[in-house]
Chains A and B, each alone.
Chain A
Amino acid sequence: DAKTTQPPSMDCAEGRAANLPCNHSTISGNEYVYWYRQIHSQGPQYIIHGLKNNETNEMASLIITEDRKSSTLILPHATLRDTAVYYCIVRLWGTNSNSGYALNFGKGTSLLVTP
């Protein structure tokens, strides 16, 4: 699985858009970009994923650059409850011969949403 690089921390004012970047310059053509988040004292939670096209769901939008070497997770109107660690993960769809469907979590970005 390709390695990802994320800033260790970011701040965002409540009600504003939070834009979380992720660099994955070694991504291969059949690897997807997944985003999860982990609110303090809870298990990680899936947010969104994409391959090439931009994606949007009720939680967030995912913008992937044309060369697929980086992406941005956008929380359009951040709330205090969005304070969490956000993980960008790149992996193949389906099973990996070494780890099945397991996810390789890095250190993520700690997002603090302030009033």
Chain B
Amino acid sequence: DVKVTQSSRYLVKRTGEKVFLECVQDMDHENMFWYRQDPGLGLRLIYFSYDVKMKEKGDIPEGYSVSREKKERFSLILESASTNQTSMYLCASQGQSSYEQYFGPGTRLTVT
């Protein structure tokens, strides 16, 4: 079974802190994604990566950066957390020739 794991299910951080959200997949997938999900807004794409060290901005990249040093790991970084970044963060991966995108369980981040 494909597994996408995220480092934390729940996280509470203070405004201004640097926050790292880690995502690991075990299926050698080339593509990895970070989405955030907010009530009434659905899932929105923050960043995606189609290969190691490659990254592309999604719809809402402001305030975020990403890192993909190894194929299996895709990290989302909040350089200086703000309260409007309180959200559910979902990581996903997909193989190059696959039709299915696999999601992790999500990290619910609260910034106070």
- Interface residues in chain A, defined as those with a beta carbon under 8 Å from any beta carbon in chain B: 32, 34, 36, 41-46, 49, 93, 95, 99-108
Contacts and interface: CB of A to CB of B under 8 A. Distances in A.
B31 A43 contact: no
B50 A100 contact: yes
Grouping DSSP codes into helix (H, G, I), strand (E, B) and loop, the A interface class, with mixed when no group exceeds half, is loop
A30 B18 CA distance: 43
Contacts of A101: 31, 33, 48, 50, 94, 101
In this complex, the member of B43, B56, B59 whose beta carbon has the largest number of chain A beta carbons within 10 angstroms is B43
Interface residues of B, number: 24
Interface stretch (B65-73, B77-85, B103-111): B103-111
Contacts of B21: none
A106 B37 CA distance: 11
B56 A46 contact: no
A44 B90 contact: yes
A93 to B, nearest CB: 7
Given A32-B99, A102-B48, 16 more contacts: A42-B105, A42-B106, A44-B43, A44-B101, A45-B103, A99-B56, A99-B59, A100-B31, A101-B33, A102-B45, A102-B58, A105-B43, A106-B42, A107-B40, A107-B42, A108-B42
Interface string B28-53: 00010101000010110100101000
A104 B66 CA distance: 20
